[in-house]
């Protein structure tokens, strides 16, 4: 099988699936064919080059690779949406930011930093979106749950790792944090 055919098969798979695909999953496309991980990586590199300067890009995420629209064209795509997504609430943003930057963290610690109670609705929303999860329990009275971000959080916000989060010093307010992570949903 030649490199061009490998590239076309991988490109089709990336277009067909919304979820990021890891190299080991892409390798399964070829069954018994003698296609190596190096062949797949070469095809992925070529696809990244092919998409330079176009409206879509091949993005490497924590779970693998995904074809997606470039952020620079998003404003035009939003014009096609009938129900434009609304912004996340400030309380939800603050809670998510604290989990992302200070994990593992308990709900009580979030409340101490914010100075107000954290609504169960916010925690449940973030867990339903699979952006946060319980990662353990603090060795303290009551054994409070420790919260941390998930791979889904990284994928949704186009991050390969937590090191890709904007530095706290760069964030002047939560509106700039929101813009840097491209939040686009609303909670009640």
Domain with 161 in it: what CATH number? 1.10.10.10
Average pLDDT over every residue of 154-172: 82
Asked if residue 69 and residue 96 are part of one domain, the reply reads no
pTM over 0.75: no
Q: For residue 102, tell me if it sits in a domain.
A: yes
| Same-domain pairing of 170 and 98 | yes
Query: Are residue 127 and residue 169 in the same domain, yes or no?
Result: yes
Question: What's the confidence (pLDDT) of residue 40?
Answer: 95
> Which of 22, 47, 78 delimits the end of a domain?
78
For residues 132 and 173, state if they share a domain.
yes
Question: Is 57 domain-assigned?
Answer: yes
Same domain, 49 and 119: no
Specify whether 62 is located in the same domain as 115.
Answer: no
Residue 20's domain spans which residues? 3-78
User: Which pLDDT score, from 0 to 100, does residue 184 have?
Assistant: 41
Segment among 25-34, 62-71, 73-82 with least mean pLDDT: 73-82
110 and 57, same domain (yes or no): no
Q: Quick check: is 118 in a domain? A: yes
pLDDT at 186: 38
The pLDDT-based confidence of 187 (bands split at 50, 70, 90) is: very low
Q: Is the pLDDT of residue 166 over 90?
A: no
The model's pLDDT over 78-109, given as tens digits with 9 standing for 90+, comes to 787 766 556 788 899 899 999 999 999 999 99
Q: Is the pLDDT of residue 182 over 80?
A: no
Does any domain span residue 127? Answer: yes
Quick: pLDDT tens for 14-32: 999 888 999 999 999 998 8
Whether residues 59 and 123 share a domain: the answer is no
Three-state helix/strand/coil letters over the chain: CCHHHHHHHHHHHHHHCCCCECHHHHHHCCCCCCCCHHHHHHHHHHHHHHCCCCCEEEEEECCEEEEEECHHHHHHHHCCCCCCCCCCCHHHHHHHHHHHHHCCEEHHHHHHHHCCCCCHHHHHHHHHCCCEEEEEECCCCCCCEEEEECHHHHHHCCCCCHHHCCCHHHCCCHHHHHHHHCCCCCCC
* Domain count within the chain: 2
Domain identity same for 175 and 112: yes
- The answer on 110 and 44 residing in a single domain is no
pLDDT on residue 79? 80
> What percent of the chain is predicted at pLDDT more than 90?
63
186 located within any domain: no
- Domain closes at, from 78, 102, 117: 78
Q: What is the pLDDT of residue 116?
A: 92
Average pLDDT over residues 158-186: 66
Last residue of a domain, one of 49, 78, 107: 78
Which range among 35-44, 71-80, 95-104, 143-152 shows the weakest confidence by mean pLDDT? 71-80
């Amino acid at each position: 099988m030649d490199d061009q055919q490998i590239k076309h098969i991988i490109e089709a798979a990336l277009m067909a699936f919304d979820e990021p695909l890891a190299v080991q999953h892409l390798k399964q496309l070829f069954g018994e064919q003698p296609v190596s991980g190096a062949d797949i990586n070469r095809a992925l590199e070529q696809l990244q080059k092919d998409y330079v300067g176009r409206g879509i890009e091949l993005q490497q995420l924590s779970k693998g690779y995904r074809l997606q629209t470039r952020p620079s064209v998003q404003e035009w795509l939003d014009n096609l949406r009938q129900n434009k997504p609304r912004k996340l609430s400030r309380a939800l943003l603050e809670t998510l930011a604290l989990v992302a930057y200070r994990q593992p963290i308990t709900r009580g610690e979030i409340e101490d930093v914010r100075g107000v109670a954290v609504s169960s609705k916010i925690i449940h929303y973030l867990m339903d979106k699979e952006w946060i999860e319980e990662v353990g329990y603090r060795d303290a009275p009551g054994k409070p749950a420790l919260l941390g971000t998930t791979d889904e959080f990284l994928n949704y916000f186009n991050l390969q790792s937590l090191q890709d989060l904007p530095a706290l010093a760069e964030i002047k307010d939560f509106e700039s944090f929101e813009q840097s992570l491209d939040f686009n949903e609303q909670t009640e």
